[in-house]
């Protein structure tokens, strides 16, 4: 059932590297980042890597792209807090 839902909504991520996932829209990557940051207690960052390619990764992972948003405990945080 869960696999069918992923395929139906086309939000099944493709693995880029060990802890990064790629999504076709910003909304899908942002939703996944919020959920994982809350459930795992980690900070997650969403990057725009290409026209229809958004990557969700941890702050220490190397990703080429623009930062779309950063999330901690399910909430958006200012990008400046990633440096601290």
Cβ atoms within 10 Å, residue 21: 21
Which two tokens mark 63? 């990703």
Give the residue extent of every domain in the chain: 2-78
What's the count of helices (H) and strands (E) in the chain, helices before strands? 2, 6
State the pLDDT at residue 15: 42
Cβ atoms within 10 Å, residue 79: 13
User: 28-83 pLDDT, tens per residue?
Assistant: 999 999 999 998 888 899 999 988 899 999 888 888 889 899 999 999 997 666 65
């Amino acid at each position: 059932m869960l696999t069918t839902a992923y395929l139906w909504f086309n939000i099944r991520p493709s693995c880029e590297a060990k802890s990064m996932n790629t999504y076709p829209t910003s909304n899908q990557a942002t939703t996944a980042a919020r959920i994982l940051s809350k459930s795992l207690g980690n900070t997650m960052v969403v990057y725009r890597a290409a026209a229809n390619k958004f990557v969700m990764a941890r702050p220490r992972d190397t990703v080429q792209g623009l930062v779309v948003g950063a999330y901690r405990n399910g909430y958006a945080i200012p990008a400046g807090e990633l440096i601290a």
